Structure 1
Amino acid sequence: MRSIATCYSEHAVRVSDSYCSGPLNRSYLSPKLIQSIRNAVSLTYKTRLSSQKHLLITVTWCDKLICQGFWINVSEKMSPEFRNSSNSHQLCKIKGTKEFESCNSGIEVYWDLSNAKFEAGPEPISAFYIVVLIDSTICLILGDMEDDPQVKKVTVGLPIVKFSLVYQCENFSGQKTEFSTKAKFCDSGLAHDILVKFGEEDEGPKNPIFSVFIDNKRVIKVMRLQWNFRGNQVTFVDGVLVDVMWDVYGWFAQPSPSAAAVFLFRTRSGLDSRLWLEEKDLAEKNHDKLEFSLLISASKNPG
């Protein structure tokens, strides 16, 4: 996120803003595009033990060609480089248990993906479970198998603490300029359908537009991306202020297959003095004040 945040003034307060560095003189959209697919999803949950220790639990699902199972990371600070961290563990079996230590705590992970069902991407949508115990406390339960005998056996008699999703990162690859996912912007809200897409203005493919749809309703429309290839606007979801930032310069200006576009959605309370926080700020921010962020990163590389 640092490379995006530095494009803007630290004290920006305008509700809607665009960054302009001159036009990009090239044709942007092609009628023959490779379908974009979701190949990795990372979900970070915050939790607090009875000892008042704050921890972040990150579960990352990858394309099956990369990893048959998932990665798990337990840490005290947010870190985008979870795979390079000594706190990260790759769990490749479809069913099993794992014990390790992290942040001076004992971690136990129980999971079963034997009958998991998938839709569009590497993250299962039903018929699975993941249970994470930290110091013999239930800190995370994912899936829809709470009544499974093994889940009951693992969790019976153990205390449970509240956990909530604070960061969702989705990676796409391919050339088609439509990226869809689901996200909850607050604990009390519903899961919303999010669609990010490029289109064409009346002038043709040299003048693309950028749109964000939430539950099939367009909430953001940016014209003339050849000028507005970086920018930010604001919308409201479930009564929560959501800042939307985009950086599509690499996607349009770089011919290499690794050229990327990045879209960041972040909830913000009225007390926040800045629209965007850099990675170091996010890592140092009080866990109780962490807002929800959704990061969509799209690469043209089909692999």
Structure 2
Amino acid sequence: MRDFPSCFGENGVQVADASCSNVSKVSQNLVTCVYKCKLFGQSCLITITWSKNLMGQCLSVEIDDLSSQCLCKVDVKPSLFTKRKGSKCLEVNSRKIDMFWDLSSANFGSGPEPLEGYYLAVVCKTEMVLLVGDLRKEAFKKTNAIPALSNAVFISKREHIFGKRVYGTKAQFCDNGPVHGLTIECDTVGVSDPCLVIRVNSKMVMQVKRLRWKFRGNQTIFIDGLPVEVFWDVHNWLFGTAFGNAVFMFQTCLSSEKLWTSQIFSDPCIPPWPCSHESKLPGLGFSLILYAWKNE
């Protein structure tokens, strides 16, 4: 997970991106999801990256230890010339795990991440370590696996979104919670005093006026009864190049205890956001990172 640096530890999570350059939008068309799992009794991070290019959707799966040391990685390119389902035997510290996927019936929207009709499974010693997708019965039947004693925890998601004034995505902020429509609204063209508005299911939950003075900041909102800390940095929208991006982070938080990073970032698109302690309650400690790019 080299392009997704973090201060992941046994008790801490922070997510930030160091590669915030103005590269082509083709390479930005990706979604990265990180899960904390158990392999051979040890905690690990499984990173799933969905990307899209001219050949079609692609998939990358990487397994890291908690020090971000890559243990193994596999790339799946389900283009017109390769199969959209299959399996792969991986080796982690001289021990084997299996990965199964089926994207043959996957339904994709405008983004690279499938919406439905698929599964991706990681199996270790007949246990289903990680299962992503809605075809759960098909996955268990194919793998002959049993549910793992320790459930995988979805801890972070990074996504690039595009728009002119309104930027939208879908987000789930807690395990088994509802999926919400999330929109970010900001008109910076020909406006002397821009205003930032964030809506959840069309309901305004946050508004930032005098944005030129408050182009970076944070505020707490409530979603599904949970406090969610919202961090924003729209410096590039207001003062950067025409194709600069804004950065937003939505961090679920229950405890007020936070450990602030001491590193001072020179890149204005990466603010010094906190490294929140991972909550012991299920579904908390989740971070959603959004990179909002203005369409030409």
TM-score between both structures, scaled by the size of structure 2: 0.74
Shift in CA distance, 275/232, structure 1 to aligned 2, threshold 3 Å: farther
Give the structure 1 partner of residue 65 of structure 2: 76
How do 1:11-50 and structure 2 match up within 5 A?
Answer: 39-49=29-39
Shift of 1:274: 4.5
Query: Which of 249, 252, 264 is matched with 1:267 structurally?
Result: 252
Choose 1 or 2 for highest CA Rg. Answer: 1
Going from structure 1 to structure 2, the CA distance change for 1:227 and 1:281 (only over 3 Å counts) comes to closer
- Given that 2:218 and 2:230 are in contact with CA atoms closer than 8 Å, whether structure 1 keeps it comes out as yes
Find 2:292's aligned residue among 290, 294, 298: 298
Note closer, same or farther for the CA distance 1:78–1:233 as it changes in structure 2 (3 Å cut): farther
Label 1:99 to 1:72 Cα distance change in 2 as closer, same or farther (>3 A): same
SS of structure 2 residue aligned to 1:250? helix
Q: Distance in 1 between matches of 2:76 and 2:280?
A: 29
Structure 1 equivalent of residue 89 of structure 2: 99
Aligned counterparts, 1:233-252, within 5 A: 233-252=219-238
Which residue in 1 is equivalent to 2:180? 192
Q: Deviations over 1:90-138 (max 9, x none)?
A: 1113211112223665331100111210123111111111111134421
Shift in Å, 1:55: 1.6
**Which stretches in structure 1 are left out of the alignment for 5+ residues?**
4-34
> How far does residue 88 in structure 1 lie from its aligned partner after superposition?
3.1
Q: Is the 8 A contact 2:258 2:275 kept in 1?
A: no
- Map Cα deviations across residues 246-299 of structure 1 (whole Å, 9 max, x no partner): 001012212253x2210001011224235789799859x669587100000123
Q: Distance in 2 between matches of 1:276 and 1:240?
A: 24
Aligned length: 260
1:130 aligns with 2:120: yes
How many angstroms apart in 2 are the aligned matches of 1:68 and 1:193? 23
Summarize the Cα distance change of 1:155–1:2 in structure 2 as closer, same or farther, 3 Å threshold. Answer: closer
SS for the counterpart of 2:115 is strand
Summarize the alignment of residues 48-63 of structure 1 with structure 2, pairs less than 5 Å apart. Answer: 48-49=38-39, 52-63=41-52
Letter in 1 for 2:239: A
Matches within 5 A, 1:141-290: 141-148=131-138, 151-156=140-145, 159=148, 161-173=150-162, 176-199=164-187, 205-255=191-241, 257=243, 259-274=244-259
In structure 2, how many angstroms separate the alpha carbons of the residues matched to 1:143 and 1:245? Answer: 29
CA distance in 1 between partners of 2:279 and 2:59 (Å): 24
Tell whether the 8 Å contact from 1:78 to 1:282 is kept in structure 2 after alignment.
no
Rounded to whole Å, the distance in 1 between the matches of 2:206 and 2:258 is 23
Give 3-state SS (helix, strand or coil) of 1:207's partner.
Answer: coil
Higher relative contact order (CA 8 A, sep 6+): 1
Structure 1 residues 63, 2: closer, same or farther in 2, change over 3 A?
closer
Shift of 1:170: 0.5
Instruction: Please report how far the alpha carbon of residue 87 of structure 1 lies from its aligned counterpart in structure 2 after TM superposition.
Output: 3.2
Question: What are the ranges of 5 or more consecutive residues in structure 2 without an aligned counterpart?
Answer: 6-24, 79-83, 264-271
CA separation of 1:122/1:86 partners in 2, compared to 1, >3 Å: closer, same or farther?
Answer: same
1:152-172 superposed Cα distances (whole Å, 9 cap, x missing partner): 031345755411211011013
Q: Extract structure 1 runs of 4+ deviating beyond 4 A.
A: 156-160, 274-283, 285-290
Q: Residues 104 and 232 of structure 1: is their aligned pair in 2 closer, same or farther, counting only changes over 3 Å?
A: farther
Secondary structure at the residue paired with 2:187?
strand
Which deviations, in whole Å up to 9, do the C-alpha atoms of 1:224-255 show, x marking residues without a partner?
21111111111111221111010010122122
Distance 1:250 1:2 in 2: 20
Counterpart Cα distance in 1 of 2:165 and 2:48: 27
Q: Is the 8 A contact 1:47 1:162 kept in 2?
A: yes
Task: Report the TM-score when normalising by structure 1.
Answer: 0.73
Report the RMSD for the aligned CA atoms in angstroms. Answer: 3.6
